[in-house]
Amino acid sequence: MMYTYDAFRAIAETATPFSQKVFHQLTASITHPDFPCYFAKTGIVKDSIYLAFIEESDPQQRWEKAAAVMADYAEIEKNHNPFRVLVLSFDLHSPDWYSDDALLWSFLAFLRKKDPEPWPSNIPQNPDEAGWFYCYGGYTWFFNVNSPNHVHRKSRNATGVYSLVIQRSAEFDDLAPAEQHDHIRHTVRSRIAAYDGQETSFALAGEADNPTMKEWPQYHLPESNNDKPWGKCPFSSHGN
């Protein structure tokens, strides 16, 4: 089941211990004065944060339920809202960064097979081509892996559990007028660097030393900027 932030807050006292834990940690994270993404705070005010909690232990059932949530969310997102975001949290144990990464691409491969819509003709199917985005339901999406395994890059651990923060990629540009984009990017990146105690990842869009930026490495950043864990995009290795 999926909830808006306010709807879950109204029933939180009767919710499962896992969902209560995630909700309180997420709230504490994004309302903290130092949390770098101030749009997250706006999401609480506008009640545009959606929450879903996947507590199945069986991997097949886990992905089936997560895919059903994604289908419902894609339907909601037909009504475009740049501040809307889905926080999809999983009750599972993932021992390290590589396990987190495998979970991400396993789910995206599963979700692709469940997609009722064809891959948009204007989006490349090769993740290493410029202009590639993950597509579902005819839209392009951004996935942000949050995990307790992000100890140093704590801006990517807002929930205290393994979570995917999901948003239509087209919405980033609609958060503010175009002439403000560079200023907002610089401000948020500076706040992330201060929050994480290290420079922002060179994998992120708009970094000066990454003119050939690809979309997919941004979904799951390594703990350190010195780490280079990526080779071929894992999405391709799943037969996509």
- Look up the pTM and report it: 0.91
Dihedral angle sign, alpha carbons of residues 146, 186, 82, 6: positive
Measured CA angle at 161 (ends 157, 167), to 5 deg = 65
**Residue matched to tokens 């909601």:** 76
The pLDDT tens digits of the residues spanning 119-134 come to: 999 999 999 888 899 9
Phi, psi angle pair for 167, to nearest 5°: -150, 145
Q: For a pLDDT cut of 90, what percent of the chain falls above it?
A: 68
Phi, psi angle pair for 36, to nearest 5°: -70, -30
Residue 47: name the closest of 90, 1, 8, 74 by CA: 8
What whole-number distance in Å separates Cα of residue 16 and Cα of residue 203?
36
What whole-number distance in Å separates Cα of residue 105 and Cα of residue 108?
5
pLDDT for 130: 84
The pLDDT tens digits of the residues spanning 125-180 come to: 999 888 899 999 999 999 999 999 999 999 999 999 999 999 998 755 555 555 56
Q: Is the pLDDT assigned to residue 209 strictly greater than 50?
A: no
- Give the start-end residues of each E strand in 16-125: 49-54, 85-90
1 C-beta neighbours (distance < 10 Å), count: 12
| Residues in contact with 37: Cβ distance below 8 Å, sequence separation at least 6, in sequence order | 30, 155, 188, 191
